[in-house]
A and B are shown apart, each in its own frame.
Chain A
Amino acid sequence: MTPERLWPVVLVALFIMPIQSLNCVLLDNATLESVRLLRSIIRSPLKCLKEIKNFEFPKEILPYIQHVERDMKEAFYIVSIQALSIFFSQNSHVSPVIAERLQHIRMGLYEQMHQAQDCFMDEEEENKEGDHKPKHPRPKFLQKVYLELSKYFIRINKFLGDKKYSVCAWKIVAAEIRRCFIIFYNFKKLLKIQSGMFSELRFLPSFLLHLKYACAVHDVAVSSARLVLHVMFVVSEACLTLAH
């Protein structure tokens, strides 16, 4: 293989890991954006104080998912999907102002869901490449984790329906989902601090951050870039095979 054709391979090999880590960095940014959007709908909750309900967030599942990074990413991916599904409920009983803010929240949650998926899928691919062991059945504690999370969001959905999707109900639900995101974000940050990963992500090259903003405009563009990289990797392997 000539040195000229080796150049793309070098680029792919050099940046493939940062690109994979970039998805999780983008997930953090998307999460913070969702938190900000949910905060915007909660301005004057005085009249809604008497309708506040304790949705009993399952904090007991956190110790189960802190040891394996994959489990953490998967759990947050599930949370993002559930939250998005809640805000895609009907909202005809709200004012246009509230409706517009709910629309912004949906967009933010949609972005967050995609980033969580990418971050989780990258983790899955790493596990597939590095570990050729046969798949084992998922541990029971993980099933319990996912079950508790599902119950949690069902309670939220039920509350919203019982309150007939009122403004106060939306405010209370928005406050609760925001709290859920903050808990996961702080918990993941704490794990990164403990594992030293947080410091690595802090020093991400600036041009990769620019790449983040360029690719985040369109989901298709991001997927296409990843597809191109995969193609280049395959081509380089083919060239090496032909050369030998």
Chain B
Amino acid sequence: MRCESRERTYRLTRMLPSHAFSIVRLLSLCLVVCVSLQFTSSSVFEDYPKESCDVNLTLRNFRLILSWELKNKSIPLTHYTFWFTIMSKPEDPKALENCTNITEPSCDVTEEWTGPSEIYVPLIVIYRGNSTVSLCEGSVVATDTRVEPPEFEVVGFTDHINVTMKFPPVTPKIFGESIWEMLGYKSLVIREQAGQSIKLHKPTMKSITGNFTYVLRDLLPKTNYCVSVYFEAETLETSIKSPFKCTALQPDQESGSSEYDKVGIVTGCVIAVLFFSIVVMLKRIGYICLKHNFPNALNFHNFLSWIFPEVPPSEGVDKLEIIPSSKKKKVWNYDYGDGSDSDEDVPKASATGYTTHGLMGRLLSQASDPANHPLESQLEEDSAAEESDATEPGTEPELPTEAVVGLGLRPSEDPSGPYERRESVLQDSFPGDDSSSVNGTGDKVIFNVNLNSVFLRVLHDDSEGGSEVSSLAEDPVHLDEAPHRTESGLPMAGEDRTQSPHPSVSSQGLWTEDGSSEKTDTSDSDADTGDGYIMR
């Protein structure tokens, strides 16, 4: 039994090692296959033909970029595979996934190369079109890194330039250190060049993230400035300088002229708007661009008529006999149709009742026998009485005259005779009166008649020869308030009572004395004459 158990045990023990060995062999084979997929013995690379190349490590946009350049470019390339290893300890070369079968001769090793004191051995397998494979090898250390300058923009103004440099938002780790530690805390250098003049600016930077703007001040206008940027590091190789970016500064005049141009344009627009608004306002208020509907008084087109005023239209005028009045006051009688005469009421005509102040001369509208149109008027105003008293108190009037209403009168040679009527230019406003054209005598006499001192008698063509002698008795107030007429034909207030040798009479306000009377009785009348200018 023991022998059988021993034999069984012996058989089992012999069977186990053989199985184990097979299993171990199988496992090791698998291990080798698996490892070979990730790592390759360095001896494999020794079999590849070596190809001369230059390997450079560059810090580009704050990323470690390993780039290589083959010296033999005759045979076209298809792709590369990047491997690397280190020299501090024995490790098989390792391939980067992002740099396998690539066409660009560069590889980003920022995440893999993190040892600042390590010596890295890059192994680049080169595959060519004719299925040849070659190898580019080298050795790289952190101090071999060449720092490329950051991207920057240049904006020029009149006397300064803004240099804006682009940095990553987060300071990256390069070889396990910050970029500034790796650079030895050396500053960025901004090179400013204008012709032969070179100036270096070193802004202090320890941990700059994001965009960084540096201003170059105290620059000359109208000058072309070129700017270059590079890192100045103590432990690194020669710095890479960026290409120049040039900008021409704007001159002061141009910048000022552009501003002045804007100001000038704005000012011109404002002035134009103001001008047009003023013109519109003046037009609206009628100061300019008036319509041609001027009133006659402002109608300057008919300049001649302005200088030589037109004769007012003829008016119904009658020949009047001016009878200087006496002290006797007469009662204003409006009864023109009454031909009764009242000798008693007929005042005496007084030459002192005439004045040259008065009416514009007007021509008679009707040429008639002055004898047929007598008109006697009697004024009851006190002033006429005073005037008569002042001149010849109690004396008889010497010149019973006739006055033509509204006309320039020409005293006749016979002062005792009536004035001839003249043709009036103006339209006669009295009914029944005819208007006639201008007689064109040319001679006009303008005189005022102090109706206070005279009596007027209209000389009509009627057979009756009735004359109307009006007086101002019924309306003394009216006479008093009646304005005096001036030579211009405008009435005046009853102020001027001066007498002149040329009496003037208006067509209105003819007064008759107690009915009409043909008599030119110049006897004194006691009728009140009032102030006595005839009022139109």
User: Do A46 and B42 have beta carbons less than 8 Å apart?
Assistant: yes
Tell me which residues across on chain B come within 8 A of A172, comparing CB atoms: 87
In whole angstroms, how far apart are the Cα atoms of A3 and B119 in the complex? 59
User: Do A50 and B117 have beta carbons less than 8 Å apart?
Assistant: no
User: Do A46 and B46 have beta carbons less than 8 Å apart?
Assistant: yes
User: Do B139 and A52 have beta carbons less than 8 Å apart?
Assistant: no
User: Do A186 and B90 have beta carbons less than 8 Å apart?
Assistant: no
Tell me which residues across on chain B come within 8 A of A42, comparing CB atoms: 87, 119, 139
Please tell me if B105 contacts chain A, counting CB pairs below 8 Å. no
In whole angstroms, how far apart are the Cα atoms of A171 and B163 in the complex? 46
Please tell me if B123 contacts chain A, counting CB pairs below 8 Å. yes
- Check A49/B88 contact, CB under 8 A, given A39-B141, A182-B117: no
Closest A residue to B137 by CB, please name it. A46
1/0 per residue, CB under 8 A from B, across A23-43: the answer is: 000000000100110010011
A74 → chain B closest CB, angstroms: 21
Q: Contacting A176 at CB < 8 Å: which of B88, B90, B135, B184?
A: B88
Please tell me if A178 contacts chain B, counting CB pairs below 8 Å. yes
- Check A52/B117 contact, CB under 8 A, given A42-B139, A46-B42, A46-B46: no
Tell me which residues across on chain A come within 8 A of B184, comparing CB atoms: 189
Closest A residue to B135 by CB, please name it. A46
User: Do B89 and A52 have beta carbons less than 8 Å apart?
Assistant: yes
1/0 per residue, CB under 8 A from A, across B92-125: the answer is: 0100000000000000000000001111010100
> Which residues of B in the span 36-69 have a Cβ within 8 Å of any Cβ on A?
41-43, 45-46, 50
User: Do A35 and B143 have beta carbons less than 8 Å apart?
Assistant: yes
User: Do B42 and A49 have beta carbons less than 8 Å apart?
Assistant: yes
Q: Contacting A45 at CB < 8 Å: which of B43, B89, B117, B139?
A: B139
User: Do B85 and A49 have beta carbons less than 8 Å apart?
Assistant: yes
User: Do B117 and A186 have beta carbons less than 8 Å apart?
Assistant: yes
User: Do B119 and A179 have beta carbons less than 8 Å apart?
Assistant: yes
Please tell me if A47 contacts chain B, counting CB pairs below 8 Å. yes
1/0 per residue, CB under 8 A from B, across A171-183: the answer is: 0100110110011
User: Do A54 and B88 have beta carbons less than 8 Å apart?
Assistant: yes
User: Do B42 and A50 have beta carbons less than 8 Å apart?
Assistant: yes
B236 → chain A closest CB, angstroms: 11
User: Do A53 and B90 have beta carbons less than 8 Å apart?
Assistant: yes
Interface residues on B, range: 20 to 34
Please tell me if B494 contacts chain A, counting CB pairs below 8 Å. no
Please tell me if B138 contacts chain A, counting CB pairs below 8 Å. yes
User: What number of A residues sit within 8 Å (CB to CB) of B?
Assistant: 27
Tell me which residues across on chain B come within 8 A of A198, comparing CB atoms: 185
Please tell me if B412 contacts chain A, counting CB pairs below 8 Å. no
Tell me which residues across on chain B come within 8 A of A195, comparing CB atoms: none
Please tell me if B439 contacts chain A, counting CB pairs below 8 Å. no
In whole angstroms, how far apart are the Cα atoms of A86 and B323 in the complex? 166
Tell me which residues across on chain A come within 8 A of B93, comparing CB atoms: 49
1/0 per residue, CB under 8 A from A, across B129-148: the answer is: 00000010111010100000
Tell me which residues across on chain A come within 8 A of B255, comparing CB atoms: none
In whole angstroms, how far apart are the Cα atoms of A54 and B87 in the complex? 9
Tell me which residues across on chain A come within 8 A of B141, comparing CB atoms: 39, 178
User: Do A43 and B139 have beta carbons less than 8 Å apart?
Assistant: yes
User: Do A46 and B87 have beta carbons less than 8 Å apart?
Assistant: no
User: Do A46 and B123 have beta carbons less than 8 Å apart?
Assistant: yes
User: Do B88 and A47 have beta carbons less than 8 Å apart?
Assistant: no
User: Do B87 and A45 have beta carbons less than 8 Å apart?
Assistant: yes
Please tell me if B78 contacts chain A, counting CB pairs below 8 Å. no
Q: Contacting B121 at CB < 8 Å: which of A35, A49, A182?
A: A49
User: Do B117 and A32 have beta carbons less than 8 Å apart?
Assistant: no
B291 → chain A closest CB, angstroms: 91
B104 → chain A closest CB, angstroms: 23
Q: Contacting A50 at CB < 8 Å: which of B43, B88, B135?
A: B43
In whole angstroms, how far apart are the Cα atoms of A179 and B175 in the complex? 14
Please tell me if A44 contacts chain B, counting CB pairs below 8 Å. yes
B186 → chain A closest CB, angstroms: 9
User: Do B118 and A179 have beta carbons less than 8 Å apart?
Assistant: yes
Tell me which residues across on chain B come within 8 A of A182, comparing CB atoms: 116-117
User: Do A175 and B87 have beta carbons less than 8 Å apart?
Assistant: yes
Given A39-B143, A189-B184, 20 more pairs with CB closer than 8 A: A32-B235, A35-B143, A43-B138, A44-B137, A44-B138, A46-B135, A46-B137, A49-B42, A49-B121, A50-B41, A50-B43, A50-B90, A53-B89, A53-B90, A172-B87, A175-B87, A178-B141, A179-B88, A182-B117, A186-B177
10 A-B pairs, CB-CB below 8 angstroms? Answer: A35-B143, A42-B139, A44-B138, A45-B119, A45-B121, A46-B46, A172-B87, A175-B87, A182-B117, A189-B184
Enumerate the 6 nearest inter-chain pairs by beta-carbon distance, A residue then B residue, closest first: A182-B117, A54-B89, A49-B42, A52-B90, A175-B87, A179-B117
